[in-house]
Amino acid sequence: MLDVLIIGGGPIGIACGLAAQKAGLSFVIIEKGCLVNSLYNYPSTMTFFSTSEKLEIGGIPFVTISNKPTRSEALEYYRRVAVSNHLPIHLFEEITGVEPNDGGYEITSHKQTYQAKKVILSTGFYDIAVNLDIPGEELSKVKHYYKDPHYYAMQNVVVVGSSNSAIDVALETYRKGANVTLVIRGDEVSHRVKYWVRPDIINRIKEGSIKAYFNSNLAAIREGEVDIDTPDGLVTIPNDFVMAMTGYKPNFDFLAKLGINLTEDKFIPEYNPQTMETNQLGLYLAGVVCGGLDTHLWFIENSRIHADMIINDILAKG
């Protein structure tokens, strides 16, 4: 019987493991993908908005050359943290069930079954993309994830969205020779875009290097073209790839299956903000999964504290 089982091997899951280790609790971290799987799937050229010290976990320094770490630096940092602290992490193991059992929980994966007194869900939100729900979205040229701009050189690329991921894709593919068109639902580029990037995209739009349709929606996708619903009517343009940077969401079905209450509008899970315990006793939430559809609410730098909050509550309750 473990004291704690942690589902999710991202930065916050690792932080929970460090806190449990420091408290002398027995635990294991289960991750369905690779270590810090979401970060691994970020664009290869990504630079964090946060400074390195705000991405630190467990009081372990994150030393970088510049104050804004890159994806590769973050991958190396979290790997070294996990390895040097000998955290028990099982990778590429997906949890299929969590059931109350004898005052604790029985947790089943596709490999084995665990018994734990407490369970921490730190499963993030990057695995399930928010769909456009339009004709043609099932075509292979439609991408919800982006890795590298070279692939799109000399292609007609439509980018849907106006936040950081969409703007990064638009600028990077444009600079590799793509003919880029932005489709933005609102009337301007999001103010959440990194402050050193936003002027760049605004200037590229003003000079006409990147075409942008504001107050518009992608209406349909076909093999060689797309339809855009604009304030001036339907516009059809040639297209080779659609980059649907429309965001991601937690696995709400899994949360509901565990008996966690979700709000009707944004599917925000019920939890005690002082302890992070859900309406299911002994079942805790940590990290961005706490925000439901509002995925901009929690991120690494402001949810690191969840680890200590949870472990302190577990210790207090014995």
CATH number at residue 149: 3.50.50.60
**Domain span at 183:** 131-244
Q: Which residues contact 13 (CB under 8 A, 6 or more apart)?
A: 6, 7, 29, 31, 120, 122, 286, 287
pLDDT at res. 304: 94
Q: Please check whether residues 121 and 6 belong to one and the same domain.
A: yes
pLDDT at res. 46: 87
225: which strand partners?
Answer: 238
Q: Please check whether residues 10 and 109 belong to one and the same domain.
A: yes
Q: Which residues contact 25 (CB under 8 A, 6 or more apart)?
A: 3, 4, 311, 314, 315
Q: What is the DSSP letter of 32?
A: S
What is the C-alpha separation between 303 and 283, in angstroms, rounded? 17
Dig out the tokens for 228 from the structure. Answer: 């855009």
Which long-range CB contacts under 8 A does 134-138 form with residues at least 24 apart? Answer: 134/218, 134/219, 134/220, 134/221, 135/220, 135/221, 136/220, 136/221, 136/222, 136/226, 137/221, 137/244
pLDDT at res. 294: 84
Dig out the tokens for 137 from the structure. Answer: 């979205």
Q: Please check whether residues 282 and 216 belong to one and the same domain.
A: no
Q: Please check whether residues 168 and 275 belong to one and the same domain.
A: no
Q: Please check whether residues 88 and 197 belong to one and the same domain.
A: no
Q: Please check whether residues 102 and 140 belong to one and the same domain.
A: no
Choose one of 244, 270, 292: the last residue of a domain.
244
pLDDT at res. 255: 93
**Element of type H or E holding 221:** strand 217-221
Helices (H), 211-280: 252-257
Total domains, the chain: 2
Answer yes or no: pTM beyond 0.85: yes
Distances (CA, A) of 208 to 76, 156, 213, 236: 39, 15, 12, 18
Choose one of 229, 244, 259: the last residue of a domain.
244
What is the C-alpha separation between 255 and 296, in angstroms, rounded? 19
pLDDT at res. 80: 97
pLDDT at res. 248: 85
For the chain, 318 residues long, give each residue's pLDDT as a single digit of tens.
Answer: 999 999 999 999 999 999 999 999 999 999 999 999 989 988 888 888 889 999 999 999 999 988 899 999 999 999 999 999 999 999 999 999 999 998 899 999 999 999 999 999 999 877 788 899 999 999 999 999 999 999 999 999 999 999 999 999 999 999 999 999 999 999 999 998 989 999 999 999 999 999 999 999 999 999 999 999 999 999 999 999 999 999 888 889 999 999 999 999 889 999 999 999 999 999 999 999 999 888 778 889 999 999 999 999 999 997
Choose one of 244, 262, 297: the last residue of a domain.
244
Instruction: Give me the torsion for CA of 154, 182, 134, 187, rounded to 10°.
Output: -170
Q: Please check whether residues 157 and 231 belong to one and the same domain.
A: yes
Q: Please check whether residues 116 and 8 belong to one and the same domain.
A: yes
Q: Please check whether residues 223 and 166 belong to one and the same domain.
A: yes
How do strand 128-129 and strand 248-249 relate by DSSP bridges? antiparallel
Dig out the tokens for 40 from the structure. Answer: 């691994």
**Element of type H or E holding 303:** helix 300-303
Q: Please check whether residues 256 and 240 belong to one and the same domain.
A: no
pLDDT at res. 318: 78
Q: Please check whether residues 166 and 215 belong to one and the same domain.
A: yes
pLDDT at res. 249: 86
